[in-house]
Amino acid sequence: MLGHTPSADRTAGGAGGNAPDRPVTAARRATKAVIPAAGLATRFLPATKAVPKELLPVVDRPVLQYIVEEAASASINDILLVTGRGKTSMVDHFDRNPYLESRLEAKGDIARLNAVRRTSELAEIYTCRQGEPLGLGHAVSYAESHVGGEPFAVLLADEFCAEDEPLLPSMLDLQAQTGGIVLSFIEIPEDQVNRYGIASVEEVDPSLAAVSDAGSVVKVTGLVEKPPVGEAPSNLAVVGRYVLPFSIFDAIRRTKPGSGGEIQLTDAMAILLAEGTPVHGIVYRGHRYDTGIPLGYLQATVQLACEREDLGPAFRQWLVDYLAGSSPAGGAS
């Protein structure tokens, strides 16, 4: 379903100034998400010259649909897509298409009809445009009036988390307990720290450690965006899933351009951390792929294709034969 962005509500809210590791009285679980999707996708050119990277298919669904499904299965049914120039087709994907639906109905192709209709029923999709891509923090700042004083999730549309290893529900539960910022991390090789937000962490209170099924919970003591190799406080990289208090918007306004000359979300979160907002993270145990680059995109595609009930058996067999150098010439048709 497509919707209109509701009128602005700039009530200040969110956490701040709480004792760093003590759970505050449970806050309301976030029910809205923001998907920043205005970027130029230079890492996947020329494929993304005219097609948004968010619409590249993984098996038979665009990457963005998986992200919306991930949010919906975590009970987030209100999603703000921050789009940009040339990316309107992303919005079309979640709209009804009565002509296509009536053609499929007339042909009796009910499976495809249901698949097409489902895209418009996953969530309420709202949109706004980021005129110039000036950084992730800048993109998130567009959500202020939509979010309306509540905590909210941010999902980066080029990062794919395996459906059967959900991360977001644990992050939302943890945020409802702490009222602060909740991040997730993966461990990366030391020579890749300059591509990510990096955190320094310590152990958490045992009462919080039990909240997550998705990985171990840690308390964040420092955050830095894309540090030079050799200068990072750890090898824990921030994954593109965030649950943020409303106070992030004020912090973004106070954030100066950082890495790459952009307004970085990591820098805004570091401001809140320094001011006493509790920041926790889950070291994710599941599979996460960067579908914004060809290698990660291929890995996600192969994993999903292997797992699909309809395609998996034939695809796995072909893959085994191919890797053994014995695949028959010609593929499926």
Return residues touching ligand G1P (CB under 6 A).
Answer: 136, 156, 159, 196-197, 225, 237-240, 264-266
Considering the complex, state which of residue 70 and residue 225 has its C-beta at the smaller distance from ligand G1P: 225
Shortest spacing between CB 259 and ligand G1P, in angstroms: 8
Structure-token pair, residue 80? 């703000």
Strands (DSSP E) found in the chain: 32-36, 57-58, 61-62, 78-83, 124-129, 152-155, 159-161, 181-187, 197-202, 215-225, 236-238, 241-244, 279-284, 288-290
Query: Distance between CA atoms of 76 and 26, rounded to whole angstroms?
Result: 18
Considering the complex, state which of residue 41 and residue 176 has its C-beta at the smaller distance from ligand G1P: 41
Considering the complex, state which of residue 44 and residue 315 has its C-beta at the smaller distance from ligand G1P: 44
Shortest spacing between CB 262 and ligand G1P, in angstroms: 8
Considering the complex, state which of residue 126 and residue 289 has its C-beta at the smaller distance from ligand G1P: 289
**Residue recorded with tokens 């449970």:** 26
Considering the complex, state which of residue 27 and residue 41 has its C-beta at the smaller distance from ligand G1P: 41
Query: Distance between CA atoms of 72 and 78, rounded to whole angstroms?
Result: 8
Considering the complex, state which of residue 156 and residue 273 has its C-beta at the smaller distance from ligand G1P: 156
Shortest spacing between CB 39 and ligand G1P, in angstroms: 7
Shortest spacing between CB 293 and ligand G1P, in angstroms: 10
Which residue's Cβ has the minimum distance to ligand G1P?
Answer: 197
Shortest spacing between CB 198 and ligand G1P, in angstroms: 8
Query: Distance between CA atoms of 238 and 282, rounded to whole angstroms?
Result: 10
Shortest spacing between CB 116 and ligand G1P, in angstroms: 30
Strands 159-161 and 57-58: unpaired
Task: Tell me the CA distances in angstroms from 143 to 9, 80, 94, 139, 265, one per residue in order.
Answer: 11, 7, 19, 8, 13
Structure-token pair, residue 17? 């100034």
